[in-house]
Amino acid sequence: MAIDLDKLGYGELDALIAKAEKQKTKIHREQRDAVKKKLIKIAKDEGYTIEELFGGKSGGKKTGKVAPKYRNPKDASQTWSGRGKRPLWFVDAIKGGKKESDLLI
């Protein structure tokens, strides 16, 4: 199937490119899924699961919940693990003269 690109206008070329990219993505996904099925079958035939061989879920990695590291001295129910954005109570305590070590659990 030959397409004469010289006869296509700007909009037609854009549409062709978009369609080609979509087809390329579809082919990549199908090939990836085929390889994944082969790997699962090989692992199963040998008595393993993908999770045993590669860890976690085959679709991605999830992390567990982290234990709290800091506690709000004004409200003991408010804690923070030390990961991610600092909670407002933590920022306010630091601005109020507390040190991080003062807020440790």
Tens-place pLDDT, residues 2-35:
889 999 999 999 999 999 999 999 999 999 999 9
> Is 75 inside any structural domain?
yes
On the 0-12 / 13-18 / 19+ scale of CB atoms within 10 A, 78 is middle
Q: Provide the 3-class DSSP secondary structure of residue 80.
A: strand
* Residue 29 CB coordination number (10 Å): 10
12-16, 18-22, 51-55, 59-63: lowest mean pLDDT where? 59-63
Could you tell me which of 78, 72, 51, 46 has the C-alpha nearest to residue 62? Answer: 51
Write down the pTM of the prediction.
0.46
Are residues 78 and 40 part of one domain? no
Q: How many domains does the chain have?
A: 2
List, in order, residues 6 or more apart from 74 with CB less than 8 Å away: 89
> Is 47 inside any structural domain?
yes
